[in-house]
Every structure is written in structure tokens, then in C-alpha cells.
Structure 1
């Protein structure tokens, strides 16, 4: 079992079990293509126009997705984390979210990556050091893989009952049941031909965990599990992921505690009281028949 965890954005750059790669990797000298592996705090996905309202006062976040005109993937995407603890099987890193444009709060955050025989567990903690309640959501952006198998040959299963419909800026405008639609992935769909960049809700849990997966024809699979804090998942199947061997299709399965634009909709958004600590976890594991 080996892994490479980055300092910038506390991302997962590599994860291998018995020589089988479980995530898409990228060179040490490059930025993560398509936000591969990074932590998304204090919000995942997008805030429409970077605008929201706090106690009646308009807030304007920096626009970090110029093409769509949104603020995307939080405030730590380009932040170098501090190493707090390190052992052969785990690393604990920390980063501060300082008050800034559109987000007048101070947060102390940590991310622990811990290896076990089956894969990796990622544990987040956030403490609100502000003197007022702070809106917070958490996400992550791993692209899953199964060794050198072409992702198109894999079957994608997403155990979620709803899908968010979006406008031309990829901001949710409604939520619909997936039953009977092309976006019902509960029974598994072959990845080849899928073109998805949608958030899903109604994520099912069993014994306090949700599980999404990619499965090979021989029954091997890579699973992304998450605790009950992660009620949403984004699925992204770009056709031109910048892999080391050239552009090709990839599959991101992104656990999220809130959907896109939660700062405006309030859906899934958590307000941390001053001094309050929030801890939550998700992970990636390898399962053989």
C-alpha cells in the first residue's frame, strides 16, 4: 500500500494497493488536472457569481471560474498545508482559512490521510475561530481508477435518488428523481459513452456510510465511501482528462456535504458556532471478488 499526498490543497496524487492504482495520478511538477484529488473547503463546487448574503449584507467572493463567472471549489485550492504529524501510514496537515473577500471568517482546518490494508481514510476537521457563526461545507475531488484498465470498460454505480438540474453556468435550478431517467446509476452503467457533470442527492447510507463504486468486468472494484455528513456526490466524466499518457476519459466521484451554490440555497450548509469543531470522514478502498 502506497500513497502520495500533496502539500498544496492536501490532495491525493497517487494511491496504490498491491500495485493497482486506485486514483488518477499526475506529475509532481504540474497542477492537479481537473482539480484531481484536492480538498474543497469551505465549500465544494460553485457559488453563483461568487455572490451570497450574510445577515442582509451582500458578499462577493473572488471569481475563480472565469468561464462560468463563479467562485469554485473553496478557498484552499492553491494553499500549501502545514505538516503537523507524520508516520509511515499517515500524515496530518493543517491550513488556515483567513478572512477575505466575501468570506469574513477564520477557520482552522486539518486533513488526515491514513492508510490501511484496503485503502485510505481521509478525516477532516474544521474549527470556527471567528466570533460569529460561519457557513461551511466540505468536499473532495478524487478521480477513481482500477489499475491500467481503460475507464470506459468499468461500470459506475452511484447510490443516489436525485439529480440537480443546472443552468448555463452550472448552478442548480431544480432537483429531480433519477428513477426512469438516463441518470439513474443505482444499478450501474458502463462508463464508455457517459457524459456527466452533475450533482446527486438522496445518497443512500447503510450502517452510517454511503458507497459509490467503479467495477471491472472481473468483479474487482474501487469504492468511495463516506460518512453521513456527506449527503451529496458530484459525478464528472470528462472525455479529455489530462493524463500522463495523453487526454482520455476519467471519472471523478466527489463526496460533498452540500451541493453547488449552498451559500445561497442553504441546502446542506452547516453553520459552525464560534469555537465549534466539526469532524467528518470518507475514504477509498479496493475490493476483490
Structure 2
């Protein structure tokens, strides 16, 4: 039997919560509370479909043409999204993270983004997954191992569900304040406020079947920790939360997400809510990029809670 393409699998438990993590891309494979699966799962012999569950470092989303500038010097990243000509989702999505620490309910994984094409820094990225009483806490720690100042952003790519509840029936709620406008390459061309009562107003909740989303949004004008909630008619409720540095979410509702046989079969609607510290193409715009000095350590968390 071949090992999973997502690397060594690790199981975490805390009473009613079970979590599975793979070492490649520090991927979140499974999250169950009271036996209810809260993320999209996938077979061991396939890459995470549509990036499901992977960690995004040292930038989330896309960089236009893979080009950006730092210190007056043009940087050229490898193009990893050939269909759109972009560098996408960072440098570590195919890298195996080492296990740094683990116990029954938590694991810390670490990898380093070394200098390479278009990336002049040496940044250590650690991800700690911890099964909590009501869900999951994910803590990112970044250390500048290099000799010069650096910049970065962090994101994650979970797809959420509420067990076997029909995805289209689920209600998504979020206090979105600003939408990033995109061109046909999914690159930013501006921003606009989310207007009360408008197409992208989710403050009162909207069923997922009504939405066609693949946009980044700025959230939480009042500093609240909640980014997005997902709820069902039966009263189940998932809350995606983040610390202050996680100011953005990418909301994505693909209609052709591939699922393993036995779980709704074939392809269908899915829902990604991706916590991010910066918007798309932030290496060029500089918007909410995090600066880090040599030897400095940065840390921030996001997570999931579930009630019913």
C-alpha cells in the first residue's frame, strides 16, 4: 500500500473532537466534533482537491505574473498557476513539514521557505493544530532566520461542511466590509465596500445555493474574532474565527468539487472560507503584508468552534 500523497498522517483527540493532519503542506485532512465531519475529506491517493485544507505560506492567493519588487529589485517567482500565469498559494504547498512536537491533542509542524526564484528570504513557518473542547485552534508562528528584513502573509484553505447536511441548504453569515474586485485572472483591480442589502451582504445569512463566490473580503470592522459562521436548519453552527491579523477571508463556492465515492458521490457544490492575513497580490500592493526583522518571531491563530 502506498503512503498518502499528503505525507504522514497524525490523529488528534480531545474528548468529543477528532482531527487528522497530514505533513505535506501541514494539511488539515479531517475535523470531527461529536462524529460530525466539518471539513471536506478526500482519498489518500489524490492531491488535496482544489487545495483543500492546505497551509498557504509565505503568501496566500495569487501574485500577478509571479513578479513583485522588494528593496528596489524585481523578483520573479516560478509560475505555479500556468492557466492564469500567476504564482499561487505560496512556496510550501508540496513541502513536507517536520513534526516538532506532539501529544494526544496537538501537533506542531515546521518547514522553512528558503531563498529561491523570486524569494530572497529565509523564513521558518510552524503550524500548531490543537483539538479543543469545541473544535480546533490553529496557531501560525513565523521566524525570520535571515540577516535582513522580510515580508510575508499567511493563509489556510479549508472547505467546510456540516456532516451530511446538503451543502446548498446551509446558511453562511459574515460581517463583510470590503470586496476585492478581480479581473479574469482572479487578480485584484480595486476594492468596493459591501453595501447593506446588496449582492454580497451576508450579515443576515444567505443559503449557499444562492451564492456564486470566488472573492476575497475584508471582515470585522469592530475587531470581533468571528470571520464566518455556517449553520443548518437543524441548529448546528460552525464558527470560523481569527485573531486580529486574520483580516480577510476568501469565500469560494465551486460547483464541481470532487468527492470520494460514498459521500454524496461525484462532484458538487462546496464551500471554502479561507482565513488570510492579506488580500490577493499583496506582495505587489503591500496591503497588510507583515514585516519581520532578523530574529523576530510573529504568531497568530485562527480556529473553528462547533455547537448544535
With structure 2 as the length reference, what TM-score do the two structures score? 0.91
- Tell me which residue corresponds to 1:198: 215
Instruction: Return the offset for 1:271.
Output: 1.3
Is the Cα–Cα contact under 8 Å of residues 3 and 16 in structure 1 kept in the other structure?
Answer: yes
Structure 2 matches for 1:176-215, cutoff 5 A?
A: 176-179=192-195, 180-206=197-223, 209-215=225-231
Task: Summarize the alignment of residues 39-188 of structure 1 with structure 2, pairs less than 5 Å apart.
Answer: 39-179=55-195, 180-188=197-205
Determine the C-alpha separation between the residues in 1 that align with 2:267 and 2:216: 24
Give the unaligned 5+ runs of structure 1: none
Asked whether 1:36 is paired with 2:56, we answer no
Q: Is the 8 A contact 1:40 1:140 kept in 2?
A: yes
1:39-80 deviation digits (Å, cap 9, x = unpaired): 101000001110001111111001011111100100110000
> For 1:262-277, what aligned pairs fall within 5 Å after superposition?
262-277=282-297
> Structure 2: which 5+ runs fail to align?
1-16
Alpha carbons of 1:205 and 1:118: their partners in 2 closer, same or farther (altered >3 Å)? farther
SS of 2:202's equivalent in the other structure is coil
Whole-angstrom CA distance in 2 between matches of 1:253 and 1:217: 20
Deviation sequence 1:232-259 (CA, Å, 0-9, x none): 1100000001111211110000000000
Q: 2:275 aligns with which of 235, 255, 275?
A: 255
Within a 5 Å distance, the mapping from 1:10-29 to structure 2 comes to 10-29=26-45
The answer as to whether partners of 1:122 and 1:281 remain within 8 angstroms in 2 is yes
**Number of corresponding residues:** 287
Q: Give the TM-score of the pair, scaled to structure 1.
A: 0.97
Contact 2:219 2:227 in 1 (8 A): no
